[in-house]
Amino acid sequence: MKHIISMIFISLLLCVLGVSAQTGGNFLQDIISLKLTGVTITAVEDVPSENFTPPGGKKLTNLPAFIRIAFTSKPTPESNIQCEIWMPKNNWNGRFLGTGNGGGAGKISYGPLVTGVIRGFATANTDMGTSPNAEDAVGHPERWADFGYRATHEMTSAAKAILQVYYKRPALNSYFIACSTGGQQALMEAQRFPDDYDGIIAGAPANNRTHLHTSFIWNLIANNQGQANEIIPQKKINLLSKLVIQNCAGKDGGAPGDGFLTDPRLCDFNFETLPQCLEGIKTDSCFTMEDIIVLKKLYTGPTNPRTGERIYTPLPLGGSKLELSAAHLYLFKWVFGKDFNYRKFDFDRDMAIVDSILAPILNANNPDLSLMKARGGKILMYTGTDDQLVPAQDAINYYERVIVAMGGLKQTQDFFRFFLIPGMGHCGGGSGLNFSQGKSIDLIQDSDYDILSAMVKWVENGIAPDRFNVKTFNCCDSVNRIGFQRPIYPYPKFPEYTGGEPKSPSSFRAVDHIRGGVLSPAAVYLK
């Protein structure tokens, strides 16, 4: 009966969509004959070039012709993982590209699908099983596991099988690229499913998930005691950033006139030196004692009040945008219910409860990547030093633990390299360099800039990236688009100014900075 329904569905698709000969009955019947466990094809479209409007989205333009297949994966009865694969009809480069999501996911991310198909990759994305939003997963623990690790693997396995049917051969190589939650997906794949991808790119990885989200609570409580407004307004955060940069810029490897920090770890800033307001006077040009107390909490980070153990790393110095939002607390609602009140969170007892339930399925903290290395897989990780949402210190700490687990820096860099981008915010933006990937189509063939091109070269030609020439762009100047350029190097190397024109890459050289040097979570919070 189920097979009959599937064939009726195929026939309707063929009639309604008018698919091309290449995607005719044989193709669709071959997909059904795959008998992918728990997978249901929900849409097949033969999309002509130029424009496409995704379900519930805005029109996308300047696209090549491609085949769009949407499918649902149900590895458990509770699961409802939505996925799509877009396959170029005429310019497939022979490769598969898995892409990730952001925040609590809950929908297909179409931007990465667009970028991937334009570049010639058969490209897949998933809602991570949390549609329509992460808070709707309350009471559904299997969906938490889907979000944590299963959805990306399910997407990958089914998408590879589908593309093999369409192209009549498997992908030459498989790659994964994503940032933030997508960075968590990337590292989870490397740790749990090392056979899925040949090259994995993890941007600003939210891999220490439960403790990262606990830092959101810590920061909210520190800077909001129930008043109508935050204790420290954005204007004072801007002032703090200005004072920090005045004190440290040019002393951490960057050029003297930089408006951002190259390596915040080298910035020795004393909050006691901040200009203090006179008693009873509050202005945007000074700090009250209450302000300074809050700032010390924000830049010290969450700790267990009973044991004193560090739960997560603090915010980095020099940032001009304080990321405070209760929208990131969905995983606490999974554990404590929809009425969860972050102000009552116990950083000792409640933290232990959250970790006992969610850490095994959400956190990608395992530094042992020996299986990934053994099969010849490669990993590139990047993050910005001005990331106020997922601080770079946590990525530094994870990489240092990988170095120990893999037997040393050289052994690690043979397959896993890490790039810190001076002044970049979360997955892009910020006050310094901008290494946001997949948004500059005119630069996609430039492996000196583009990390995906560099990964392909590393996997397929054995050439490991030793530097990237990072460009910044002027927002609205079509003539002088490039603001300035600067090289970045694999950690622990940083670009150091040697003199000359600060906007020229030739004015910088690679210098080893200190290893580690960050406030890291206690061992109990690295599980």
DSSP secondary structure string, 81-149? EEEEEEEESS---SEEEEE---TT--S--HHHHHHHHHTT-EEEEE-TT--S-GGGGTT-HHHHHIIII
Residue 325's pLDDT is 76
Residue 387 appears among annotated catalytic residues = yes
Given 73, 79, 180, 453, which residue is catalytic? 180
**If pLDDT is split at 50, 70 and 90, which confidence band does 42 have?**
very high
Of the residues 116, 150, 171, the one at which a domain ends: 171
- Residue 492 pLDDT level (bands cut at 50, 70, 90): very high
Do 100 and 29 lie in one domain? The reply is yes
Question: Same structural domain for residues 9 and 126?
Answer: yes
Q: What is the pLDDT of residue 24?
A: 44
Q: 127, 146, 196, 387: which one is catalytic?
A: 387
Q: Does the pLDDT value for residue 488 go beyond 80?
A: yes
What pLDDT does residue 228 have? 46
Does 132 lie in the same domain as 11? yes
Tell me the C-alpha to C-alpha distance, in Å, between residue 137 and each of 93, 129, 350, 429: 37, 9, 20, 31
Q: Are residues 167 and 287 in the same domain?
A: no
* Residue 205 resides in a domain: no
Would you say residue 198 lies in a domain? no
Q: Which residues contact 141 (CB under 8 A, 6 or more apart)?
A: 78, 334, 357
Active-site entry in 426, 436, 453, 520: 426
Alpha carbons 468 and 237: distance in angstroms, whole number: 31
- Which structural domain range is residue 251 located in? 211-361+516-525
pLDDT-derived band at 449, boundaries 50, 70, 90:
confident
> Based on the domain organization, do 146 and 7 belong to the same domain?
yes
Q: Is residue 185 part of a domain?
A: no
Which residues on adjacent β-strands are paired with residue 511? 494
163 and 230: one domain? no
Answer yes or no: do 143 and 220 share one domain: no
Percent of the chain with pLDDT over 90: 73
In sequence order, the 6+-apart residues with CB closer than 8 A to the CB of 293 are none
Name the pLDDT band for 253 (thresholds 50, 70, 90): very high
- pLDDT score of 446: 66
- pLDDT, residue 5, reads 35
Among residues 123, 142, 171, the one where a domain terminates is 171
The percentage of residues in the chain with a pLDDT greater than 70, rounded to a whole number, is: 90
Q: Pick the residue with more confidence: 502 or 481?
A: 502
pLDDT at 329 exceeding the cut of 70:
yes
Q: Are residues 10 and 89 in the same domain?
A: yes
Q: Is residue 404 situated within a structural domain? A: no
Statement: residue 476 has pLDDT above 60: no
| Gap between the Cα atoms of 155 and 108, Å rounded | 12
Whole-angstrom distance, CA of residue 381 vs CA of residue 373: 15
pTM of this structure: 0.93
Residues 63-75 have pLDDT tens digits of 999 999 999 999 9
Chain centroid offset of residue 199 CA: 15
Q: Is the pLDDT of residue 438 over 90?
A: no
Domain boundary among 141, 171, 201: 171
Assess whether 222 and 340 both reside in one domain: yes
* Phi, psi (deg, nearest 5) at residue 58: -90, 160
From 25-39, 319-333, 392-406, 509-523, the region with the lowest mean pLDDT: 25-39
Whether 421 contacts 513, CB under 8 Å: no
- How many CA atoms within 13 Å lie on the side-chain side of 80? 11
Give the separation between CA 326 and CA 224, rounded to whole angstroms.
11
Task: Share the mean pLDDT of the chain.
Answer: 89
pLDDT at 67: 94
pLDDT digits over 389-437, tens only?
999 999 999 999 999 999 999 999 999 999 999 999 999 888 888 886 5
Q: Give per-residue pLDDT as tens, 144-178.
A: 999 999 999 999 999 999 999 999 999 999 999 99
Classify residue 329: in a domain, yes or no: yes
Inside any domain, residue 483: no
User: Are 10 and 74 part of one and the same domain?
Assistant: yes
- Arithmetic mean of pLDDT, 226-236: 70
pLDDT number for residue 57: 82
- Look at residue 229 and tell me whether its pLDDT is greater than 70: no
Residue 472 has pLDDT above 90, yes or no: no
pLDDT category, 448, cuts 50, 70, 90? confident
pLDDT of residue 14: 42
pLDDT at 18: 39
d(CA 40, CA 2): 11
Is 426 catalytic? The answer is yes
Residue 266 has pLDDT above 70, yes or no: yes
Query: Torsions phi, psi of 360, nearest 5?
Result: -65, -20
Query: Is the CB of residue 188 less than 8 Å from the CB of residue 148?
Result: yes
- Spell out a b/e string for 163-178, using b for 16 or more CB atoms within 10 Å of the CB, else e: bbbbbeeebebbbbbb
Nearest in space to 242 (alpha carbons), one of 324, 313, 323, 317: 317
In a domain, 12, yes or no: yes
Establish whether 215 is a catalytic residue.
no
Kindly state the tokens that stand for 286: 């000074």
Query: In terms of domains, do 164 and 225 share one?
Result: no
Number of structural domains (the chain) is 2
Residue 22 clears pLDDT 50, i.e. is over it: no
CA atoms within 13 A on the CB side of 22: 15
What number is the average pLDDT over the span 345-362? Answer: 98
What is the amino acid identity at position 174?
S
The answer to which of 72-81, 313-322, 434-443, 497-506 has the lowest mean pLDDT is 434-443
Looking at residue 126, its pLDDT comes to 98
pLDDT at position 477 is 54
Residue 8 inside a domain? The answer is: yes
**Within this chain, do residues 157 and 240 fall inside the same structural domain, yes or no?**
no
Long-range contacts of 5-13 (CB under 8 A, 24+ apart): 6/32, 7/32, 9/41, 13/43, 13/44
- What was the pLDDT predicted at 21? 34
